[in-house]
Amino acid sequence: MADKTRKFSDNAPGRYYVDRDCVLCTTCFELAGDFFPVSRDESHRFVVRQPNTPAEIAKVESAVAGCPMGAIGDDGDT
């Protein structure tokens, strides 16, 4: 499970984030690529923007569920 005390600073503020357990696999990108680009230093993925529509939320939720490292966090409605 992701830990908000270990999230990357380049995540967009809000409900979803990627923490330091990210191993730069492609799972989140394959499921919700618009939300999980590679960082500038190419060391991790991050949440570039928070989802707004039900369809976008569903895509990000699929990435949360599919992340093999459990590195995508969901703080609920924030």
pLDDT value for 59? 98
| Domain CATH for 21 | 3.30.70.20
Q: Which domain holds residue 56?
A: 4-74
Q: What pLDDT was estimated at residue 78?
A: 53
Handedness of CA 42, 45, 51, 55 (dihedral sign): positive
Number of domains in the chain: 1
Q: Which of 53, 56, 54, 33 is nearest to 45 (CA)?
A: 33
* Whole-number pLDDT of residue 76: 83
Map residue 18 onto helix, strand or coil: strand
Q: Give the model's pLDDT for residue 77.
A: 67
Low-confidence ranges of the chain (pLDDT < 70): 77-78
Per-residue model confidence (pLDDT) at position 75: 92
